[in-house]
Structures are given as structure tokens and as C-alpha cells.
Amino acid sequence: MIPVLILMTAGIITGWIFHKKTIFLQSISKLTNWAIYLLLFLLGLAVGANEQILNSFHKIGYLSIAITLFAVAGSIFTAWITYHLFFKKKGERNER
């Protein structure tokens, strides 16, 4: 995991140095997309060859959706508190 973090930090510095080179950045953005496609393809490949995962795919699907509902509900709850404590202007009412 540490090489991953070092590489990202190195990338941020590189990006900051070259942030005016539009053509360079456009090709980086394309390359990024293809790296993501390749990685997701490889993840699919590993999953497809793994019978254990395939057999429990419906369970995995339900779990994924359920955990997301909790993640979103929790973050909306704290966002609501933060909004009312720090962002909402006095006298501003909820536009219902």
C-alpha cells in the first residue's frame, strides 16, 4: 500500500508542475481512463474465475446496496447537522 501512496503523491507533484501543459494533461486523462478500464477488466477476470464469488453473487449484490444505504443515510445526517449549525443563514427557511 505504501508504494501506492508514494506514487500518488509523486503524481500530484508532477501534475502541479505541468498543470499548464494542456495536451500532456489530455493524454494523461485518456490514459487514466484506460488504466481504470484495464483494472476493472482484470478484477472481473479474477472474479469470473473464482467460483466461490460467483456462487454468492446475489448475496454480494444485496450487501452492496444495503451498506450504501447506511453510508448515504449517515452522511446525509451529519451534513444536515453541519448545514444547520454552520451554513444556513439566519432567517433562511427550507424551500419546500
Partner 1 sequence: MKGSIIILFFFVLGLLSGIYQLLPEHLLKNDYSLYALYLLMFLVGIGIGSNKKSLQIIKKINFKILLVPLSVITGTYIGVSIFSLIQNHLSLIDSLAIGSGFGYYSLSSVLISEVTNDTLGVIALLSNITREIITLLFTPLFARYFGKLAPISSGGATAMDTTLPVITKYIGSDYAIISVFSGIVLTVLVPFLIALIL
**Of the two residues 65 and 90, which places its CB atom closer to partner 1 in the complex?**
65
Copy the grid coordinates of residue 41. Answer: 477488466
- Please give the grid coordinates belonging to residue 90: 439566519
Using CB under 8 A, count the residues that bind partner 1. Answer: 74
- Does 35 help bind partner 1 (rule: CB under 8 A)? yes
- Determine, following the binding rule CB under 8 A, whether residue 26 of this chain makes contact with partner 1: no
Find the shortest distance in angstroms from Cβ 91 to partner 1: 15
CB-hemisphere CA count at 13 Å for 14? 9
55 contributes a contact to partner 1 by CB under 8 A = no
Of 70, 90, 91, 93, the one binding partner 1 (CB under 8 A) is 70
Three-state DSSP state, 46: helix
> Shortest Cβ distance from residue 82 to partner 1 (Å)?
4
Q: Please state, in angstroms and rounded to a whole number, the distance separating the CA atoms of residues 45 and 54.
A: 11
What is the Cα 72 distance to its own chain's centre?
14
